[in-house]
Structure 1
């Protein structure tokens, strides 16, 4: 029996890892994670252009630095010294740096001699089917720590991602520099499972291209609670709810499944848009629906949204983070690899239960009720404004100047034509103008034909109401669904073919009367109310 060992194509693996990222800022995420692992108290991130015009990302810390073995682990595949339960245990993250023109590392560890490491054209080498090499030489750094420079990261419009605003937001939302473990720092069990639960290094951002800089504490940003918010003078509809914020948690749930310790930690808020706006900087074309909701986390660092756990179409009003060290992540750290496990299913069930019983009822009672009341109030205000505007507008409409019917203005729409038609039938003097119609039985704007009437023989006749006669064809009323057309004015030329539902019709005159006549000689009488009234009152 022959025994064979599978081969690994190192070049293909390096390329795949370097390409397998959703957001170029993940390069910074990996750098910050390494700084945290090195027990850094400060992390400096600098963005600048070198003399060749390439964007450089410089990540420096005052942590423990790297010895020679750790330097080799930095460049090797699958060679990590991290705890198995923590992010980065696969040792793949730093390989995303390879999609660049140059990587330079300056590091010093435990007061030993420092090292300067350089890898030239790593991406070019990989594209040519060559595993890139790196050089190591002694350095003369004075203090412990590490500085990594990534030059010419291969991406279109690098300044779109590597700028002050984008980096600050990304760091606080999706990196170890924006974790929320401070909320659970006193949990003894978590202290043994998550590194440095009580530490939050300061992060300094220097954007030399935009000439912007800041210093921030490396914790996730939640909006401050505000359950009795002030009004926003700039928002006409949601005056108070835009400034509302209610916090939920911290929730910690734990159990044992098949001998394994399982736990989850949940904390979050429901809040108005002004509060959400304060804790994030949306990317171009990004919406609050695309940013907010519920996030899954490991090491208290968000990696994936899971809005299906909320089962709520208004998920984007929530800002909820769920952490579990029992989540196992894919190589790119952007999704769960043990999704179908009993452990993850138990965690999801607990999250759904917490949301259903401890979060949503309060959010509905307070925040969403406030929004609904504001919507109703705003709708009422809009109706009042619309009516006042309509009253002003109607004053400009010409008068009918007919004293025999209680209608002052000429019609402006189909409904007003129907009202005028009914008023004319109710008055003895104007009723004789409508020779063929005696009574109205019913009127409906939703039925196939507007009005059901009777003639003087007590027979049912169907009447279609239009403001202009041409609307009978524009609205595509089928021939056969009306016997008469009542309109305010006729705007069609006579003896010109008009087609509706593949039936040709023409408008013709017979004495003083007008008819729509089909190609099969079916006739529908047209009553032009403006002409009928003018016939008597303005002759």
Structure 2
């Protein structure tokens, strides 16, 4: 029997990991995670251009620094020296840096020698089928901590991702520099699971290209509660709810499954859009609906959205984060790798229970109730405004000047023609003007034929009502569904073929009366109200 050891194609693996990222900004996420694991008190993110005009990303900290073995682990594949509490455990994250023209590490541990490590053209070497090499030099002029310089990161439009505004937002939302463990710092049991629960390094961002910089505490941004908000004078519809914010939690759930400790930590808010605007900077084409909702977290760092757990179409009003150290992540830290684990299923069930019993009822009673009231008030305002505008508009419409009927204005729509038609039939002085129709039995704007009437022989007559006669063809009413057409005015030429539902028709005159005649000689009389009234009530 022969025994073989599988071979690993190192170049292919390095390339795959360097390419396996959703967002180029993940190189900053990996750098910040390393700084956290090094017990840094301060982290600097610097964006500039080098002498070759390539974008240069500098990640610097004042942490523990790197020994020579740590440097080798940085460049090696799957060779992590980190302990379980730390963020990085697989030794893969730093390989995303390889998609660049040059990597430089300057580092020094306390009371030990410093080092500079350089890797030239790592990405080009991988494209050429070669594992890139790195060199290490001794240094005695470095301060404690680590500086990583990534030059010429290979991405189209790098300034789109690596600029002051986008970096600040990304760091606060998707990196260890925006964790929310401070909310659960008093839970002693978590201090054995997550490193430095009560510590958050300061983050310093300096964009030398845009000449912008800031310093911020490395914690996730939540809108402060505001359950009795002031009105937003610029918002016509949601005047108060846009400034509403209610916090939920902190919730801590724990159990034991198959002898293993399992827990989750949940916290978040429901808030109006003004509140959401204040805590994020959307990318181009990104919406608040796509940004907000429920995020799953590990090490209290958001990595994946899971809005399906809420079962709520209005999920984007929520800003909820759920952490569990029982989540196992894929190599790129962008999704769960143990989704089918019984522990994860328990965590998901607890999330749904918390939302269903402790969050949604309050949100419905307060926030969504406020929005509904505002919607109703806005709808009423719109109706009043529309009515006032209509009253002003109707004043400009010509008068009928007919005392025998209570209609003052010339009709402007099909419904007003129907009203006028009914008014004419209801008065003995005007009823005689329409000889063929005696009474209206039924009217409905939703039926195929508008009105069911009786004719002079007391038989059923189907009457279609239109403002203009041409609408009978635009609306494609079947010829078989009406015997008469009542309109305000005739706007069709006589003896011109019109077609509806593959049936050809023409408008013809017989004396003073007009008819629509089909190719099969069916005749529908046209009653033009404007013509009838003008003859009887000439001014």
Q: TM-score, normalised by structure 2?
A: 0.99
- C-alpha displacement of 1:382: 0.7
Instruction: Please say if residues 37 and 87 of structure 2, whose CA atoms lie closer than 8 Å, have aligned partners that are also in contact.
Output: no
Name the SS of the counterpart of 1:231 in structure 2: coil
1:398 — aligned with what? 398
Structure 2 matches for 1:104-503, cutoff 5 A?
Answer: 104-503=104-503
User: Counterpart of 1:480 in 2: which secondary structure?
Assistant: helix
Q: Which ranges in structure 1 are unaligned for 5 or more consecutive residues?
A: none
Contact 2:292–2:318, Cα closer than 8 Å, also in 1: yes
Corresponding residue for residue 90 of structure 2:
90
SS at match of 1:438: strand
Please give the per-residue CA displacement for 1:485-530, whole angstroms capped at 9, x wherever unaligned.
Answer: 0000111111111111111111111110111111111111111111
Separation in structure 2 between the aligned mates of residue 503 and residue 117 of structure 1, nearest angstrom: 85
* Alpha-carbon distance in 2 for matches of 1:369, 1:176: 36
Deviation for aligned residue 1:454: 0.2
Please give the per-residue CA displacement for 1:281-326, whole angstroms capped at 9, x wherever unaligned. 1111111110000100000000000001111111001000000000
CA distance in 2, matches of 1:167, 1:532: 75
Whole-angstrom CA distance in 1 between matches of 2:88 and 2:516: 80
Task: Return the offset for 1:86.
Answer: 4.7
C-alpha distance in 2, partners of 1:475/1:460? 23
* Structure 1 residues 410-457: Cα deviation after superposition (integer angstroms, max 9, x where no partner): 000000000000011111222111110000001000001000000121
In the alignment, is residue 57 of structure 1 matched against residue 57 of structure 2? yes
Instruction: Give me the whole-angstrom Cα distance separating, in 2, the residues matched to 1:47 and 1:493.
Output: 74
Contact 1:47 1:163 in 2 (8 A): yes
The 8 Å contact of residues 106 and 142 in structure 2, kept in 1 or not, is answered as: no
Cα distance in 2 between the residues matched to 1:445 and 1:282: 47
Residue pair 1:108, 1:141 contacting (<8 A) in 2 also: no
CA distance in 2, matches of 1:279, 1:14: 36
Q: Does the CA contact (< 8 Å) of 2:90 and 2:331 recur in 1?
A: yes
Distance 1:429 1:275 in 2: 66
Q: CA deviation at 1:111?
A: 2.2
1:84 positional shift: 3.7
Contact 2:107 2:142 in 1 (8 A): no
Work out whether residues 267 and 322 of structure 1, in 8 Å CA contact, stay in contact via their aligned partners in 2.
yes
**CA distance in structure 1 between the aligned counterparts of 2:312 and 2:153, rounded to whole angstroms:** 40
Larger mean Cα displacement after TM superposition, 360-369 or 77-86: 77-86
- 2:280 and 2:202 map into 1 onto residues whose CA distance is 19
Equivalent residue pairs, number: 539
**1: distance between equivalents of 2:84 and 2:524?**
85
Shift of 1:141: 3.3
Partner of 2:520: 520
Residues in 2 aligned to 1:352 and 1:81: alpha-carbon distance in whole angstroms: 37
- Shift in Å at residue 142 of structure 1? 3.5
State the secondary structure of the residue aligned to 1:116: strand
Give the structure 2 partner of residue 534 of structure 1.
534
Change (3 A) 1:244 1:271: same
2:12 equivalent to 1:12: yes
CA distance, structure 2, for counterparts of residue 350 and residue 419 of structure 1: 61
Q: Is the 8 A contact 2:266 2:322 kept in 1?
A: yes
Normalising by structure 1, what TM-score?
0.99
- Deviation of the 1:537 alpha carbon: 1.3
The CA RMSD measured in Å over matched residues stands at 0.9
Q: Which residue of 2 aligns with 1:73?
A: 73
79-88 or 404-413: bigger deviation: 79-88
Deviation at 1:4, TM superposition (A): 1.0
User: Structure 2 stretches of 5 or more lacking a match?
Assistant: none
